[in-house]
Structure 1
Amino acid sequence: MSCFPCFGKKKEEGNQGGVEPGPASNMTPPDPVQAPAGYAPAAAAVTPPKPANDARPGGDDEASLRGAISAQAFAFRELAAATDHFTPYNLVGEGGFFRVYKGQLEKNGQTVAIKQLDKHGFQGNKEFLAGVSKLSQLHHENLIDLVGYCADGDQRLLVYESVPAGTLEDHLFDLPADKKPMDWCTRMKVAYGAAQGLEYLHEKASPPVVYGEFRASHILLDADFTPKLTDFGLAQLGQGGGSAPVASPMMGSFGCCAPEYDRSGQATMKSDAYSFGVVLVQLISGRRAVDTSKPVDEQNVVTWALPMFKDQKRYHELVDPLIKKEYPAKALNQVVAMAAMCLQEEIP
């Protein structure tokens, strides 16, 4: 059964990227994506054939893993040139074990986001390549596309398509006076697309992917405000390419994770659904997951929202004052019900 039934029952008109859900047992994984015809793994090109009794570790296995990756292999020098040697003015974000730089590839001029991973946060080259191979097979309108990777020596980098409009956080919280707030329909478009991306990871990806750190800052928006999820699979990549469960909550996730994830450090599809519920409440209310500038009983957005979940007459109190006049009451009721279900709360 889908974790996101209210957003996954049917495709909206005009949405070409929606995933039409059904029972998980009836869903077939996406067809494997083969490496481009012109791509030859670097290791295979320079390594001469070895006799059958050659027992040296590495070589052949790594070549096979590289060949299974349907994304471009970059040399470290190419990505250093693309980011002007990772200068601070190209730094656009960072997480617990990575930094993200804006870059422009010299070969084709494509603007990309280059994620430089902590050299000490990952196991071996084979494990990294196996994880990248799995990431390179994930394709959906609401997921960020992996363009390529780098595994030169101890360097570990991922190259993603660039998404121009920033994150959901940039358009939802602490807006400057001259910036127009997202209207109700756009917020629901983001919610729908994010649900489709999560549903794909849970029910159509093979093997399934537990996100583990789903939050507003991991939802990127393109020029048309189509959401694209990023950073999925990174925790698994750090553990050697496994798919579930995910351990150790990352930095910046406080207030977004399910209580059991905070306690145990083990993420599941159920905890992903909880995090989606938190983002839904944020989309409705325009509030951060945790805001220490609020009164103590309002600092956590879920704690603040729970009393209103209990009384349908108070649903309107959840709505962001910036869009107070434009939301449809019936749609609000449905979205609040969806959020409450994800947060495992009963409502009238």
Structure 2
Amino acid sequence: MNWIDNVVRPKIRSFLNRREVEENLWVKCPQSGEMVFYRDLEANQWVVPNSGYHMKIKARDRLASFLDDGAFQTVALPQVPQDPLRFRDTKRYSDRLKESRTKTGMEDAVLVATGALYGQGVTVGVQDFDFMGGSLGMAAGSAIITGLETAARRKEPFILFVASGGARMQEGILSLMQMPRTTVGVQRLREAGLPYIVVMTDPTTGGVTASYAMLGDVHIAEPNALICFAGPRVIEQTIREKLPKGFQRSEYLRDHGMVDLVVHRHDLRPTIGSLIGIFTRQPVNPAIPAAERDAGRVSMRDVAIAAEGDGEDDTLANPPVAAHAE
């Protein structure tokens, strides 16, 4: 045996058979510093088990965990002009779009899909923060309007998961125009008598908060989500005063009447399913286990009060099946 057999060939084989090792196998919780195995975090819908911190979740993962059997059909979205202002800062806007599309696998910041929630047909829009901070541009605005129109055409509720840093500066006034456009779309859905439920996640800020994010029939927020128009740091620098603890977070806004419910991510399915049951007077699918229907973190009375706006009627404490049984 010569040195080729003893040295060269084994090295070549080890190089060719080298296993690819995943990066970021462990994820650090921003709140507690806890290290969580990536797969465990993914299986827990990107909620850190011990601290309960809600991490950002991809649009398709959100849909898969929210809709029945994880099944959904994406809605074709209209094409809009690319880089209409020929904008460039440290890099070209067109290059930023390409990078975000490669990173997320999405055409823009909003994904719209149809599916079922406890057997009830729904149209769902999801804003993905990984796509340029979920910023609102022409494509995102057109996607939301398409979702609203799809829900109206199919005569079913529209549910929107919001995560955004605000309007997209690279599109200037064209981005700001999406605020009144989406407002008109929400009004048309309301005229059709169909529910519009908004779920605000961390963060929900800027022009998005000043438009479609605050026009829902019910406003739900995930725990500790930042929800505001201008951030707390900007406000503190402007008024030169220290803001209250938790200012502009979900729980603070709920206590001050800006948000109806703060709901853990694991409980969004049964909570929204109950709301839809109240709005549409359709019973929850009996095939769904009662333990999932009646999640303990948010009582059915709270859900009913958010939908009806009246806490005096004791019958609202019952789930939609009992409250609206014929």
TM-score by length of 1: 0.28
In terms of fraction of residues, the more strand-rich structure is 2
In terms of fraction of residues, the more helix-rich structure is 2
Of structures 1 and 2, the one with the larger relative CO (CA 8 A, separation 6+) is 1
TM-score by length of 2: 0.29
Larger radius of gyration: 2
